[in-house]
Amino acid sequence: MTTPGEQLRMTVYLRESARWHHRPAYSEIVHRAHAAGLAGAGVFRGIEGYGRHGRVHTTRLLDLAEDLPITVVVVDEEDRVRAFARQVREVLGEGNGLITLDHVEVVL
């Protein structure tokens, strides 16, 4: 459980098609976060977006509705999140996503 006060939020941006050993990468990240005892993780599916290749994916056009953007958010104590970032890098591999870290204030 995350205690109120300053915590660290990790946001992982990746493609829906990203895989880790035939499993969705976002699912692997959530399961690893759970196994690591982190306070919580959530996965959010985007309705439109583009990445480094510049191709826009959107739910509005049937042929582009595949491979939508996915965001995984993890919040916990700074040292725990920074340690977990190494595992996320392993899952993403080289150039397959973006990881950001920012300080947040947990209220409840």
φ, ψ (nearest 5 deg) of residue 63: -75, -15
CA dist list (Å): 21 to 14, 60, 91, 93: 16, 30, 9, 12
Mean pLDDT over 64-92 rounds to: 92
pLDDT at 96 over 60: yes
Mean pLDDT over 79-99 rounds to: 94
pLDDT at 64 over 60: no
Q: Which residue has the higher pLDDT, 4 or 104?
A: 104
- Distance from C-alpha of 2 to C-alpha of 57, rounded to nearest angstrom: 34
Q: Identify the structural domains of the chain with CATH numbers, from first to last.
A: 5-106 (3.30.70.120)
Q: What is the mean pLDDT of the chain?
A: 90
72 pLDDT band, cuts 50/70/90, is: very high
